[in-house]
Amino acid sequence: MSSDRPLTDAASPHPPASQLPPPQPEPPVRADPLGFSVEVPDPFRPPLRDQPDPTASQPELLQQEDAAESRAVAVGEPSAEFAGNAIRTAKYSALTFLPRNLFEQFRRLSYLYFLAITVLNQLPQVAVFGRGASALPLAFVLLVTAVKDAYEDLRRHRSDRAENNRLAAVLSAPPAAAEFAPRKWKHLRVGDVVRVESSETLPADMVLLATSDATGVAHVQTVNLDGETNLKTRYARQETQLRFSRDGGVGGVLHCERPNRNIYGFQANLEIDGKRVSLGPSNIVLRGCELKNTAWAIGVVVYAGKDTKVMLNNSGPPSKRSRLETQLNRETVILSIMLIGMCTTASVLAGIWVLNHRGELEFTQFFREKDYTTGKNYNYYGIGMQIFITFLMAVIVYQVIIPISLYISMEMVRLGQAYFMGADLDLYDKSSSSKFHCRALNINEDLGQIKYVFSDKTGTLTENKMVFQCASVHGVDYSSAKDTSGYSVVVDDLLFTPKMAVRTDPQLLKMLRNGGSDEEAKLVLDFFLALAACNTIVPLVLDTKDPRQKLIDYQGESPDEQALAYAAASYGIVLVERTSGYVMIDVLGDRQRFDILGLHEFDSDRKRMSVIIGCPDKTVKLYVKGADSSMFGITNKELDNVLATKAHLHKYSSLGLRTLVVGMRELSQPEFLDWQSAYENASTSVLGRGNLLRSVATNIEGNIHILGATGIEDKLQDGVPEAIESLRQAGMKVWILTGDKQETAISIGYSCKLLTNDMTQIVINNSSKESCKKSLEEALATTKELRVASSVGTLNPESSGVILALIVDGNSLVYILETELQEELFKVATECSVVLCCRMAPLQKAGVVALIKNRTDDMTLAIGDGANDVSMIQMADVGVGISGQEGGQAVMASDFSMGQFRFLVPLLLVHGHWNYQRMGYMILYNFYKNATFVLVLFWYVLYTSFTLTTAINEWSSLLYTVLYTSLPTIVVGILDKDLSKSTLLAYPKLYGTGQRNEKYNVNLFVLNMLEALWQSLVVFYIPYFAYRQSTIDMSSLGDLWALASVIIVNMQLAMDIFRWNWIIHAFVWGTIAATAICLFVIDSIWFLPGYGAIFHVMGTGLFWLLLLIIIVAAMVPHFVIKAFTEHFNPSDSQIAREMEKFGALNQVNRAEIPMRTVS
Amino acid sequence: MDRDAAGTSDAGSRAGGDASAAIRRRNTRRPKYSKFTQQELPACKPILTPKLVVSLFFGVGIVFVSLGLVALLAAHNVVEIVERYDDACVPPTNIDNKIGYIQDVTVPKDCIRILTVTKDMKQPIFVYYQLDSFYQNHRRNKTCNFRYVLSRNDAQLRDPKNANHTTSCDPEKMANGKPIIPCGLIAWSLFNDTYSFSRGNETLTVDKKGISWKSDREHKFGQNVYPSNFQNGALIGGKMLNASIPLSEQEDLIVWMRTAALPTFRKLYGKIHVDLKVKDKIIVKLINNYNTYSFGGKKTLILSTATWLGGKNYFLGYAYLVVGGLCIFLGFAFSLLYTIKPRKLGDQTTCPGTTKI
């Protein structure tokens, strides 16, 4: 009878229910028989449209939409109407590079400022410096950036070209012979029929027409798209499959929605042979996926090139700006105001001076208003114009107060920091031999200010390797698995070995092999048969180097099922072959055929799956496996067994294992026949098939005998719990955003020590907006209550032991994100110290990141490895990609990439801390040093009757920012370390420096400006008073001012350097020497006014005495502030530094440091 | 300030040393180990310990106070005679119209001043003139290149071949269609008061050789560049130059062209190689030509000895005393603070409230 009934009925007009998206109005469920399914509604669309119902209302829906909303594709007739398949990720072409790149660069406000200054300097009336010289710095900055951009774009061009020139087999257009000929990807058109072979990459988004499988099944791997490495099943509709096998071609017109970026949604219908066939997400295969396990597949291109979903989702990394750079804009504004103030003062005073001396100017030698050869006054513009022009000149002279060199310095410092991060052996992953890479060069310092870490789970925290750990069979716990005795099957002299060996429990193995007939051994056998048969695993036979040895690779959508199948194989129950009608299982060396009579897929209501199997001994058995919550409701009354199993399950899950319960029931003949007729009725019914099948399943799945339970370890990567603990001690909140289901997420939360038993869990898992609102309000009330309760006892709520954990389900987030409920979620989430979000769609991950990013000033970091993490990586302030795994999408989108999750600790705590500290200091210092110089210039103007003379040589003015003072800050910005690596790792709380903005804030800026003011006064006025009424000439005094300024700003830097190694020594002192040498050189040029001045002035004792007192008087306030704060108001870093220096660090036992959690 | 080369770097080199060679062969992507790449270069970590702070303050304070005393002493030893003569040399009849007086070429400008020596003065005695409110650093923005401070052409001054180089000399470029040598406003405005000194009947000769910088004479002003067409314009700004003397020997011009940094400045006029005794009466015959009356500038004649520290200026000494005193005060203040609020360095527990480690 139906013993050879195929799993899918090829003759049926519809694929069986298991292969269709559920027709019920619920989000599409990615079929996953085990229950680890991911429901993926489009998070940002109204719920109604998430529920495509391909069988019923959807075609009508599509038709109602106007023509602009859909596109019509004639199958087999390429149309030029839509975008071709050529892609272009490069930003520029050779022609557009210059204008576009310049446009992009000038979006930086400060560049516009520098441009304005340069233009201003070209005007003859106001020119102060040489025209060319003034344009040089800006030109240099622009050039460097342009070269960098050009190089990056060139790489993109190359990869585009490679991608566009790949070949695909395309069915020739109708007039030619119907055969598949290779064509370049870029020449593909919408409407082309393309044939893809196994392991080939799909060139465009295609609707499947036919596959090598008679039932129209094709497997694709979507790792490039959503990060999941398991296979997904896609279907060709029977109508097209049949038509293709008959005619070798498919006609018809396909109507589909316009290109959109939802990778889980697709609605279309195909008019073929006068019928309208509806198509859903399971009928489309997307560009970038790979065809697997299917010899060939044929599809029609519906979206090509830039319209494909992968390209639409590939928005390109948004250009991120570091926090410091954003804050820097505020200081730039303050400095601009200062600049305007100084220029106004100078020009107004100049105007007043001219007014006051108006009558005298005619004969004043140094002014000489009149031109006596013509008898006219010089082209005198009038006081107003005079003031205006003086103002513009002043802007040019004082413009350095906003340092253009800062931008160059920052780029170079980041380059250096990136080099050292890449070279750090602590960030090098041996197992995947992947180095740390800085992909974005402009946010290094953000690594030191992170407050939120959003982590993906699969592949990031875990290795995405499920390993069977322990089993409880019939109330007996077998969890002492030790040896990995791989089990192999011999068939026709060929040795079949499962690809992965699982550690086996010797007792269980012994019982299985020797027991033979007794009742217990039979139960054990049934247990493993259930593991081997009750799944949708496809065994693949792989060749090895030895021709007599074959490897069995279990492929399937669920990694848990794979783990179970491998486990069964290790115990000797090897699944060897699966067809649609039966499975071949090698039972302890005896190859047996089990007919699959029926299969009830997993669904989210039942939370279990079952198969009905015809055994070789003619009995019919029902094997069920599912989550414990769903299984214990349908057991028979064997209480002892159930209780023991429950106890074991508790034990397993507290170990962080993923648990499943396995059960069986032997079906009697009448029972089976009843079921069979009901099942067939249900499978062939047209309306409500899913509901009918579900009720059939529910009816038969009852009175189950519990065989046992399994515990599968979702292997964590090395050092994950420790890393998370460090991050949390460092004051970061770690959120896990996973596509996995709630239970799994929680168990991972436990195993990586994020969740502990003393936490209060708040779960939000609702399926309507109202209920979401209600549970959010309740949660908010709970947090408030606990806060009040705890604050009564102590000031610190954490110490009272109430720690909240929030678990949110992706389904609920559909109703929360982008609605007014967001605010509430935000409030709840920030009260909780742990947040787990499960069943998240890629865009929801980004939504959650945005929730925090848009509402707080806190820096966010997202870390992930898969393409589904791309959106979150791009959304977060800092995106980190895990490299070394398959699929480079996350790495491509990331700002930093590295091999392991645990590297986050050295990356943030050590390099992040250093980078932030160095960069913050460098920016402040650059402001300070230029302000000092500009103020010195400004004071002089008060003694030149407010004309903008600079005593300091104009070459020195230019070199001041470029050479005299810039190199030491760059070197210090790259090399200085406030604390050693070991200290920073031992005391994660030192990371708080960055989170509290301790190294760069308005107060520090003001302090720096005050120091600049004081030092400029000292530099200017001490020589001024000493040389008043003397023969001092302008150049000599200018040289003294220049040298003194350079020395004191370098002294200031020297006082703030934490660690002096020889490189820093060389640069700081070398720069001062270089300045002196430059002054010598400039004063050796005979046509400059300063010829000989430095030699002359250095020959006087007064010069040296002045230099000495300037340095000391200028540095005293800084020294006093430093000595005072370091001793009487020390920062954490200061104390840690002292501990380092005086050896206290080594004596402190690390265990004695209280490990308090930080919120 | 000891070194921290030990500790971390030792462990690092061991780990890197034996393992790295093998691994590197297998795997070229592994970053190479070196103290530089791992940022483990030996380094000095200065920390401001109380001892260091206090001793620095006291050390600097003591040195500065002593230097201040030395500087004060030096300034004190300088003898300076200052005589302002701009108003005094205008005849009482012209006191209401000083400008008219100074511009009237027919009126003789001779003037006699008598100075009394207040203290013995050892030769050489430097003769300076001091101008007040004269902005030799002026930079006007009337036209493109017209700036007093730059109104000169160094190429023309240096080489006779460059006689026509008058760029940037506006408005004193050309006169009567010929280039002016030396061109420019600075040269044009050359100071032209003259002084001659006598003590009783003894004429005190003023040595005007070597009053300018040697470097200027030798390299900036040409030995065969002669003044020509100078002060031939409609308005005479200052001194005439003897057209037969090359620029390199026109030391008054050279001194004048070394533009002063500040609006009140002195220029060296000459040197007197005679010792002067206290209460000596010096008769100064001066010709009061230079017009500072139009802008209210003062003119002063100064006779001064010099020390290693320059002229008579007490500022430096006082500045050193103040800074030194401040340092000593801070030394005491910090000693007091450290005693009142001691803190054990590197001890987390002694720092209440702030320790967040």
pLDDT at A913: 93
Single-letter amino acid, residue B15? A
Structure tokens at A893: 């989108």
Quick one: DSSP state of residue B260?
A: B
Query: Which position among A50, A456, A628, A877 bears the catalytic label?
Result: A456
Q: Is the pLDDT of residue A1159 over 60?
A: no
Rg (chain A; Cα; Å): 37
| A 986-1015 near B (Cβ less than 8 A) | 987, 989-990, 992
Q: CA-CA distances (angstroms) from residue A1041 to A398, A472, A659, A933, A1046?
A: 16, 85, 77, 9, 9
Helix (H) or strand (E) holding A859: strand A859-864
| pLDDT on residue A2 | 37
Tokens linked to A571: 């115990």
pLDDT tens-digit readout, A295-335: 888 888 888 888 887 777 665 556 677 888 888 888 888 89
Q: Which of B221, B253, B215, B261 is nearest to B237 (CA)?
A: B253
How many Å apart are CA A1106 and CA B263, to the nearest integer? 21
* pLDDT (0 to 100) of residue A686: 57
Q: What's the pLDDT score for residue B57?
A: 96
Work out whether the CA dihedral A570, A572, A577, A583 comes out positive or negative.
negative
Nearest 5°: the CA angle A703, A705, A706 is 125
- Residue A1150 to chain B, least CA–CA distance (Å): 12
Asked if the model's pLDDT at residue A489 lies above 80, the reply is no
* b (16+ CB within 10 A) / e for B191-218: bbbbbebebeeeebebebeebbbebbbe
Q: Is A640 a catalytic residue?
A: no
pLDDT tens figures, A895-947: 898 888 999 999 999 999 999 999 999 999 999 999 999 999 999 999 988 88
Structure tokens at A671: 């029972």
Token digits of residue B170: 């506006």
**Choice among A199-213, A245-259, A548-562, B134-148 with the minimum mean pLDDT:** B134-148
What confidence score (pLDDT) does residue A882 get? 87
Q: In this complex, do B265 and A951 lie within 8 Å of one another by their Cβ atoms?
A: no
pLDDT band at A608 (very low <50, low <70, confident <90, very high): confident
Contact across the interface for A1105 and B233, Cβ inside 8 Å: no
Compute the CA torsion angle A176, A179, A183, A186 (nearest 10 deg): 80
Integer angstrom CA distances of residue B60 from A48, A125, B47, B69: 80, 49, 18, 14
| pLDDT for A40 | 36
Give CA–CA dist A996/A916, Å, rounded.
11
DSSP symbol at A963: I
For residues A730-752, average pLDDT: 82
Q: What is the C-alpha to C-alpha distance for residues A256 and A54, in angstroms, rounded to an integer?
A: 12
Q: According to the per-residue pLDDT averaged within each range, which of A217-221, A503-507, B222-226 is highest?
A: B222-226
Binding residues of A: 456-458, 561, 602, 625, 658, 738-740, 839, 845, 865, 868-869
Specify the DSSP element, H or E, that contains A748.
helix A742-751
* CA–CA separation, A782 and B317 (whole Å): 73
Whether residue A950 contacts residue B138, with contact meaning beta carbons closer than 8 Å, is answered with no
The beta-carbon neighbor of B295 closest among A126, A360, A1116 is A360
**Model confidence at A817: pLDDT above 50:** yes
Residues A365, B185: C-beta atoms closer than 8 Å: yes
Whether the predicted pLDDT of B261 surpasses 80: yes
A1130-1139 pLDDT, tens digit per residue, is: 888 888 888 8
Mean predicted confidence (pLDDT) in A815-827: 83
Strand order in the sheet with B202-204: B110-116, B281-287, B194-199, B202-204
Residue (of A164, A154, A197) closest to A294 by Cα position:
A197
CA pair distance A1063, A851, nearest whole angstrom: 45
d(CA B325, CA A116): 48
> Residue B37: which of A126, A423, A1144 has the nearest Cβ?
A423
Instruction: With CB atoms and an 8 Å threshold, state whether B295 touches A364.
Output: yes
Q: What per-residue confidence (pLDDT) applies to A389?
A: 81
Select from B266, B319, B320 the Cβ nearest to the Cβ of A1029. Answer: B266
**CA nearest to A346, candidates A285, A387, A400:** A387
pLDDT at B13 over 60: no
What distance in Å separates the CA atoms of residue A686 and residue A540, rounded to the nearest whole number? 34
DSSP string, A1068-1123: HHHHHHHHHHHHHHHTT-TTSTTTTHHHHHHTSHHHHHHHHHHHHHHHHHHHHHHH
Neighbours of A938 (CB within 10 A): 22
Tokens at residue A192, please? 């082309």
Top residue of B294, B307, B336, B338 to mutate, by most chain A CBs within 10 Å, is B294
Which H or E run contains B266? strand B265-272
Contact by Cβ (8 Å): A826, A806: no
pLDDT tens-digit series, residues A767-809: 778 888 888 888 888 888 777 766 554 444 444 457 788 888 8
Q: Say if the Cβ atoms of B142 and A1024 lie within 8 Å.
A: no
Cβ contact B261:A953 at 8 Å: no
Nearest-angstrom CA–CA distance, B9 and B287: 79
Tell me what the mean pLDDT of segment A602-616 comes to: 81
Interval A821-829 mean pLDDT: 86
> What pLDDT is attached to residue A831?
83
Are A947 and B139 inside 8 Å of each other by CB?
A: yes
Q: What's the mean pLDDT in A419-429?
A: 89
Is residue A598 within a helix (H) or strand (E), and if so which, with residue range?
A: strand A590-600
Higher pLDDT, B23 or A349: A349
User: Between residues 1104 and 1123 of chain A, which touch chain B (CB distance below 8 Å)?
Assistant: 1105-1106, 1108-1109, 1112-1113, 1116, 1119-1120, 1122-1123
**Which residue spans within A646-787 are E strands per DSSP?**
658-667, 705-716, 733-737, 759-764
pTM of the model: 0.80
Amino acid at the residue B95: I
State the Cα–Cα distance between residues A1063 and A972, nearest whole angstrom: 9
Give CA–CA dist A624/A706, Å, rounded.
9
DSSP bridge partners of A624 = A610, A663
φ, ψ of residue A119 to 5 degrees: the values are -60, -45
Q: Residue range A758-766: average pLDDT?
A: 83
Lowest mean pLDDT, pick from A424-428, A865-869, A1083-1087: A865-869
Helix axes of A109-122 and A323-356: crossing angle, nearest 10 degrees: 30
**Three-point CA angle A127, A131, A133, nearest 5°:** 120
A658: phi then psi, degrees, rounded to nearest 5: -85, 130
SS3 A559: helix
Split at pLDDT 50, 70, 90, the class of A685 is low
pLDDT at A51 over 70: no
Give the Cα separation of B290 and A714 in Å (integer). Answer: 98
Whether the Cβ atoms of residue A865 and residue A890 lie closer than 8 Å to each other: yes
Nearest residue on chain A to B314, judged by CA atoms?
A1026
Task: Identify the pLDDT of residue A187.
Answer: 86
Q: Tell me the chain B residues in contact with residue A1087 when contact means C-beta distances shorter than 8 Å.
A: 154-155, 158
φ and ψ of A1060, to 5 deg = -100, 105
Q: Inform me whether the pLDDT recorded for A27 exceeds 50.
A: no
pLDDT score recorded for residue B5:
39
Helix, strand, coil distribution of chain A in percent, nearest 5: 50, 20, 30
User: Are the CB atoms for A1072 and A1046 separated by under 8 Å?
Assistant: yes
- Per the CB < 8 A criterion, the answer to whether A834 and A806 are in contact is yes
**pLDDT for residue A63:** 43
Contacts of B266 in chain A (CB under 8 A): 1029-1031
Mutate to test the interface with B, among A349, A366, A946 (most CBs of B within 10 A): A366
Q: What's the mean pLDDT in A351-371?
A: 75
Alpha helices, DSSP H, located in A193-322: 223-226, 238-247, 309-313
Give the Cα separation of B167 and B150 in Å (integer): 10
CB A744 within 8 A of CB A714: yes
What whole-number distance in Å separates Cα of residue A1052 and Cα of residue A1042?
15
* Average pLDDT of span A827-854: 85
Beta-bridge partners for A270 = A254, A277
pLDDT tens-digit series, residues A1042-1059: 999 999 999 999 999 999
Nearest-CA residue of chain B relative to A391? B141
H or E stretch covering A925? helix A913-941
Alpha carbons A1137 and A1145: distance in angstroms, whole number: 9
In 3D space, the residue among A485, A586, A475 whose CA is nearest the CA of residue A533 turns out to be A586
| Cβ within 8 Å, pair B39-A975 | yes
For B286-323, what is each residue's pLDDT tens digit? 998 888 888 888 999 999 998 888 888 899 999 999 99
CA distances from A285 to A294, A301, A308, A559, A631 (A): 13, 10, 11, 22, 35
pLDDT, tens digit, 9 for 90 and up, residues A1071-1082 = 999 999 999 999
Q: Could you tell me the CA-to-CA distances from A1152 to A840, A1147, A1148 in Å, in that order?
A: 40, 11, 8
Cross-chain residue pair B138–A380, CB shorter than 8 Å: no
Give the residue ranges of the annotated binding site of A for ATP: 456-458, 561, 602, 625, 658, 738-740, 839, 845, 868-869
pLDDT value of position A80: 78
Q: Tell me whether A113 touches chain B (CB under 8 Å).
A: no
Q: Label residue A863 by pLDDT band (50, 70, 90).
A: very high
